[in-house]
Structure 1
Amino acid sequence: MQSDRPTGDVSENGVWSAVVPRTMAGERLDVFLSSAFKDGGLSRSKIQSLIKSGSASVDGEVARKPKLKLSGGETIALTVDLPSAELAPEDAPLDVIHADEHLVVVNKPWGLTVHPAPAQPSGTLVNRLAHHFPAIMSMEGERPGVVHRIDKDTSGLLLVALDEKTRLALSAAFAGRDVDKDYLAIVHGVPQDESSGRQTGTIDAPIGRDPKSKTKMAVVDKGGREALSEWEVLWSSPDGQASLVRVHIYTGRTHQIRVHMAHIGHPLMGDAIYGARQHKEWLRDSGHDASLAPRQMLHAWRLGFTHPETEQDMRFVLEPPEDFRRLLFTLARTTVRVGVVGMPGCGKSALSGFLREAGVPVFSADDAVAALYEHGEDGWTLVRRRFGEEFAPDGEPVAKGRLFAGMRQSEDFRREVLDIVHPLVQHRLEEFWAQHADAPVAVAEVPLLVEGGWDERGIVDMVVGVHCPEAVRRGRLEDRGWDEATMAALEAWQWSEADKLARCAHVVDNSGTLDDLHAEAQRLLQRIDADRRADEEREHQRIMALWSGDKDASAGADATAS
């Protein structure tokens, strides 16, 4: 991106000089120089040291006060250790996407500075270009061939001219907005246009130096330069914590995408300058290591322009690097939320116990109800408020025997009880899912799950049923002291076993011994893991298709790199 920081000329004796723009009237001398040399890596403290040592002058007079206020229009000079006038070629890797005698398109890796600067005279992309394309050595200036830039920690496509005529033509094309630039960004949250409610929008907001922090850029009310970006959400993580966004920029302001996306409340993941708070919170809440997003997650994805010599339409598409893909695939991972159902006495709890022993987080709706019915808890309070102290006595838990008897006598009463209890249990279950969001699999044993439509409403991802011969399970219930009337009532409130199992992705057979059920539990986990891996692979393919299926790339030069 093109910078709007103050620029100047370098004399033969290594003195940098520039005229202070009128728009920077009132600025301090050290702030002005820090702005000018930010790309060179000169810190504010280094600038201040240079000023105090007498290395700076204002209109020919030595200025030793870093806080000196400028009026605008002055000529500022600073003596620094500038790069050698002769560019030093470096034999280092260069990923060339396209090259001809006039220009080259390269894939710039993140972490690589584009051109030499006072604090980094070597180790840049231009140093590598000088080795692989010596023609740029004949061009003037410290940035030979550079017609646009991307930040050091941004990856992707970069266009470089190999001769002065091409450089001038391409620079004019960038200035005239005749170059198409699309970026991929991973941002916090899911952007949504406030007026339309759609996941696409335009940001038309001027960018200038942040009045609160001179080392940052910001959307400003006064003194900024026009900045126009369009964005579109391509994909969002299942938990809504992050999105893959396409951003098309019409202007090339410093940090434009980073500033604009932060301005609408969705900064880039990994951006330590414009999204530090959001990224810190995400790392804390997700438990992920900071190495998962080691830089601002921004990639120069598509580049289109007219070749200045051949007039050919040139279009390039470049898939994101490995760290970008790794973050997206990690964000796409979800816990497989499994609901376990079955008829009374079928062995749901025994299966859940074996899964818990295998390290799987397990939720029990029955245990949740028991906790909710304790004195003073939400279930106790609501039952007492609706049905009176007969069912929720002072100092005691809910009288479940009386409640059950009332439910058997009246269908309306039973439905009222379920209307109280089910939302509370669902809330506890959702808290359970959130607590175990990093687990590959989590299980909830909920007897009336399918009857309540929890699978259809997306409260669980998969339903597993437990089958047990009727005679066997009734015998188990009799051993627990259940009479025929109780069994009949509970079964009447549920779907038939056939209807339950018809809604299940997997059915566990519990017609044998406990050892047999333990083996079934192990096989179930293997099947669920296979399903999860297949779903992840399908999601990975879907994500990759978002950046590889570019229809425009088939036009013109058809120069697609992936």
Structure 2
Amino acid sequence: MTHEAIFDESATSGGVWNAVVPEGMAGERLDVFLAGELRESGLSRSKLQGLIKAGKATVDGCVTTKPRLVLEGGESVSLLVDLPGGDLTPEEGDLDVVYEDESLVVLNKPAGLTVHPAPTQTENTLVHRLVHHYPGMLDMEGERPGIVHRIDKDTSGLILVALDEGTRLDLSEDFAERRVEKHYLAVVHGVPCSTSRASHGEIEAPIGRDPRHKTRMAVTEKGGREARTAWEVLWSSPDRRASLVRVRIFTGRTHQIRVHMAHIGHPLMGDEVYGARQHKQWLRETGCDPALAPRQMLHAWRLGFEHPETGERLDFMQAPPEDFRRLMFHLARTTLRVGIVGMPGCGKSALSAMLERRGVPLFSADAVVRELYAEGEDGWVLIRRRFGAEFAPDGGPVNKARVLASMRESAEFRKELEGIVHPLVDHRLNAFWDAHTGATVAVAEVPLLVEGGADVQNEQADIAVGVRCPEDVRRGRLMARGWDDATIALIESWQWSEADKLSRCAEVVDNSGTLDDLDREADALLARLEGEHARREAEVRARIAALWGAG
């Protein structure tokens, strides 16, 4: 035997637990060691102490009645324990059968269903349903007939069950020798990366009982057992708050995936045991409904093994259940970020305001600059620090006339000023996008968006919408605001031509008519933008579904 605890079902009125004490657990008390071995059975330490005192425990074949006996490591420990629940009573209940033959069955277990009876769960388990559907399993001994491995109650997915004693022994050996291949899908907080910054890696860290919380497991050197997990990021949400990770386990420690992913700082979403802090933070920052992650989001996805009778290689894959998919699709939701651009006086502000009246969140770069130029604000402070009080005087905002005159006189001054102001505007824009991630469409009016490199699928906007207007109409509007020909020519010289701007736009709105005409254009534009958003979301959903549908 190795360090694995086993259950010997030779006793008729109960069962015998056998285990070899790992060398790393030298110095551990007998009752503490057994509490760890039998943690999944639900037996309390006080109950175990009573069994030891009653002469139910042996160490290297000798009966001991001392719960506080100090172990040296390497001993063979046995405990005779009466199992709860008596004879199994078959219970009706659905089974999602993926494969079955005379020897074994592969099932898709739903989340929320306990695999086998325990002191805290004496009915309504998978085993109770199994013996109803496969009465021959009642001929197998013990309270866990056919069970060769287990997955947590709140984990969904594939589980392999033997239908006769010979198959159970063969499959148990395959699991013990790590010949069975098991892959899981997990939704984790954040975006894991390895020390090489790669999107995959391995975790080799021993797992044992958490010394501070006896009901939990943890990565621990003292008393920990070898545990190895490989992971790979398949997809990350646009806000990088969550990732879909494929996980393969090479050992079968209790809560191994949950413990290992938490150990590297990326616990499973919905795991309130090993990721409570991150889960609460996610709910608080996103305002999401807790029902989106009602359990640890872990799914036993793929299972591969050799049939013990035929030697045939069998591989199975099961797509995750509805709650898992619902969370993934929610995480994939994005706001269609729309940049409104155009030449001075084209009507882009009017169009933006019309969209805002229709409930679309609006960001105005010009409005942000006005805020930044107010006395004491970041723009005012930086301009004063760099150019002096004549540009940012006491008792007032940035002197725009003085700034414009200097920009007219010096291209170097203009570039320096843009180097100060543009990053501040970009920061506000990014905050605006983050604040409206729940919206279908959000709009930013940024005059120099395309000049700054913004285009379809870039960091600042998903698409650009251009507003086209006859030049004579534009110039008339600008002159009505007090601009002269020289000022118009100067401002336009700092921008791309209308033709170049519009060539970078996915949508172009014509503003050669009246305001009523533009209002109708706004309706039509919004409908197209919402359609584009729906199309993109459908594409993302299809890509995500393909991740767990592919081999």
Q: Deviations over 1:450-507 (max 9, x none)?
A: 1111337521111011111112222222222222221111111111111111111111
Moved more, 210-219 or 4-13: 4-13
Q: Which residue does 1:155 correspond to in 2?
A: 156
Q: Deviations over 1:37-73 (max 9, x none)?
A: 543556x6xx65x68xxx924342799xxx9745347
Go from structure 1 to structure 2 and tell me whether the alpha carbon gap of 1:19 and 1:466 turns closer, same or farther (over 3 Å shift). Answer: closer
Q: Which residue does 1:97 correspond to in 2?
A: 98
Moved more, 177-186 or 33-42: 33-42
- What is the identity, as a one-letter code, of the residue corresponding to 1:265? G
**Deviation of residue 352 (structure 1)?**
1.2
Go from structure 1 to structure 2 and tell me whether the alpha carbon gap of 1:41 and 1:521 turns closer, same or farther (over 3 Å shift). Answer: farther
Q: Deviations over 1:369-404 (max 9, x none)?
A: 111111121111121122111111122211001111
Q: Which residue does 2:63 correspond to in 1?
A: none
- What is the identity, as a one-letter code, of the residue corresponding to 2:144? R
Go from structure 1 to structure 2 and tell me whether the alpha carbon gap of 1:278 and 1:529 turns closer, same or farther (over 3 Å shift). Answer: same
- Are the equivalent residues in 1 in contact too, given 2:9–2:142 (CA < 8 A)? no
For 1:366 and 1:266, locate their aligned partners in 2 and report how far apart those are by CA, in whole Å: 40
- Name the SS of the counterpart of 1:344 in structure 2: coil
Go from structure 1 to structure 2 and tell me whether the alpha carbon gap of 1:541 and 1:285 turns closer, same or farther (over 3 Å shift). Answer: same
**Deviation of residue 158 (structure 1)?**
0.4
**Deviation of residue 350 (structure 1)?**
1.0
Q: Which residue does 1:167 correspond to in 2?
A: 168
Moved more, 95-104 or 510-519: 510-519
Go from structure 1 to structure 2 and tell me whether the alpha carbon gap of 1:79 and 1:143 turns closer, same or farther (over 3 Å shift). Answer: closer
- What is the identity, as a one-letter code, of the residue corresponding to 1:465? G
- Name the SS of the counterpart of 1:58 in structure 2: helix
For 1:272 and 1:405, locate their aligned partners in 2 and report how far apart those are by CA, in whole Å: 60
- What is the identity, as a one-letter code, of the residue corresponding to 1:161? A
For 1:424 and 1:408, locate their aligned partners in 2 and report how far apart those are by CA, in whole Å: 22
Instruction: Map 1:53-452; keep pairs closer than 5 Å.
Output: 56-60=50-54, 69-72=68-71, 82-84=84-86, 86-194=87-195, 196-452=196-452
- Name the SS of the counterpart of 1:56 in structure 2: helix
For 2:13 and 2:161, locate their aligned partners in 1 and report how far apart those are by CA, in whole Å: 28
- Are the equivalent residues in 2 in contact too, given 1:9–1:18 (CA < 8 A)? no
For 1:88 and 1:521, locate their aligned partners in 2 and report how far apart those are by CA, in whole Å: 67
1:536 aligns with 2:537: yes
Instruction: Map 1:463-502; keep pairs closer than 5 Å.
Output: 463-502=464-503
For 1:267 and 1:152, locate their aligned partners in 2 and report how far apart those are by CA, in whole Å: 18
Q: Deviations over 1:289-327 (max 9, x none)?
A: 111011111111111111010111101011111111111
- What is the identity, as a one-letter code, of the residue corresponding to 1:60? A
Aligned residues: CA RMSD: 2.6
Go from structure 1 to structure 2 and tell me whether the alpha carbon gap of 1:13 and 1:126 turns closer, same or farther (over 3 Å shift). Answer: closer
Moved more, 524-533 or 15-24: 15-24
Q: Which residue does 2:514 correspond to in 1?
A: 513
For 1:215 and 1:3, locate their aligned partners in 2 and report how far apart those are by CA, in whole Å: 20
For 2:5 and 2:350, locate their aligned partners in 1 and report how far apart those are by CA, in whole Å: 68
**Deviation of residue 36 (structure 1)?**
5.4
- Name the SS of the counterpart of 1:254 in structure 2: coil
Q: Deviations over 1:320-351 (max 9, x none)?
A: 11111111111111111111101111111111
Go from structure 1 to structure 2 and tell me whether the alpha carbon gap of 1:178 and 1:12 turns closer, same or farther (over 3 Å shift). Answer: closer
- Are the equivalent residues in 2 in contact too, given 1:59–1:75 (CA < 8 A)? no
For 2:355 and 2:28, locate their aligned partners in 1 and report how far apart those are by CA, in whole Å: 69
Go from structure 1 to structure 2 and tell me whether the alpha carbon gap of 1:502 and 1:35 turns closer, same or farther (over 3 Å shift). Answer: same
**Deviation of residue 26 (structure 1)?**
4.2
- What is the identity, as a one-letter code, of the residue corresponding to 2:70? S
Q: May I ask how many residue pairs the two structures share in their alignment?
A: 535
Q: Which residue does 1:557 correspond to in 2?
A: none
Q: Which residue does 1:560 correspond to in 2?
A: none
For 1:144 and 1:3, locate their aligned partners in 2 and report how far apart those are by CA, in whole Å: 22
**Deviation of residue 523 (structure 1)?**
1.5
For 1:549 and 1:18, locate their aligned partners in 2 and report how far apart those are by CA, in whole Å: 41
For 1:298 and 1:24, locate their aligned partners in 2 and report how far apart those are by CA, in whole Å: 34
**Deviation of residue 95 (structure 1)?**
0.4
- Name the SS of the counterpart of 2:244 in structure 1: strand
For 1:26 and 1:170, locate their aligned partners in 2 and report how far apart those are by CA, in whole Å: 32
- What is the identity, as a one-letter code, of the residue corresponding to 2:450? V
Moved more, 450-459 or 538-547: 450-459
- What is the identity, as a one-letter code, of the residue corresponding to 1:261? M
- Are the equivalent residues in 1 in contact too, given 2:103–2:162 (CA < 8 A)? yes
TM-score calculated relative to the size of structure 1:
0.89
For 1:296 and 1:212, locate their aligned partners in 2 and report how far apart those are by CA, in whole Å: 22
- Are the equivalent residues in 1 in contact too, given 2:6–2:17 (CA < 8 A)? no
- Name the SS of the counterpart of 1:300 in structure 2: strand
For 1:545 and 1:285, locate their aligned partners in 2 and report how far apart those are by CA, in whole Å: 29
- What is the identity, as a one-letter code, of the residue corresponding to 1:128? R
- Are the equivalent residues in 2 in contact too, given 1:58–1:75 (CA < 8 A)? no
**Deviation of residue 280 (structure 1)?**
0.9
- Name the SS of the counterpart of 2:99 in structure 1: strand
**Deviation of residue 12 (structure 1)?**
5.2
The structure, 1 or 2, with the larger RCO (C-alpha pairs under 8 Å, 6+ apart) is 1
Go from structure 1 to structure 2 and tell me whether the alpha carbon gap of 1:479 and 1:4 turns closer, same or farther (over 3 Å shift). Answer: farther
For 2:314 and 2:18, locate their aligned partners in 1 and report how far apart those are by CA, in whole Å: 36
Go from structure 1 to structure 2 and tell me whether the alpha carbon gap of 1:8 and 1:135 turns closer, same or farther (over 3 Å shift). Answer: closer
Q: Deviations over 1:411-461 (max 9, x none)?
A: 222222111111111111111112222222211111111111133752111
TM-score calculated relative to the size of structure 2:
0.91
For 2:354 and 2:10, locate their aligned partners in 1 and report how far apart those are by CA, in whole Å: 75
- Are the equivalent residues in 2 in contact too, given 1:7–1:36 (CA < 8 A)? no
- Are the equivalent residues in 1 in contact too, given 2:4–2:20 (CA < 8 A)? no
Go from structure 1 to structure 2 and tell me whether the alpha carbon gap of 1:375 and 1:399 turns closer, same or farther (over 3 Å shift). Answer: same
- What is the identity, as a one-letter code, of the residue corresponding to 1:368? V
- Are the equivalent residues in 1 in contact too, given 2:303–2:316 (CA < 8 A)? yes
- What is the identity, as a one-letter code, of the residue corresponding to 2:177? G
- What is the identity, as a one-letter code, of the residue corresponding to 2:119? P
For 1:69 and 1:283, locate their aligned partners in 2 and report how far apart those are by CA, in whole Å: 45
Q: Which residue does 1:556 correspond to in 2?
A: none
For 2:134 and 2:68, locate their aligned partners in 1 and report how far apart those are by CA, in whole Å: 44
For 1:426 and 1:500, locate their aligned partners in 2 and report how far apart those are by CA, in whole Å: 19
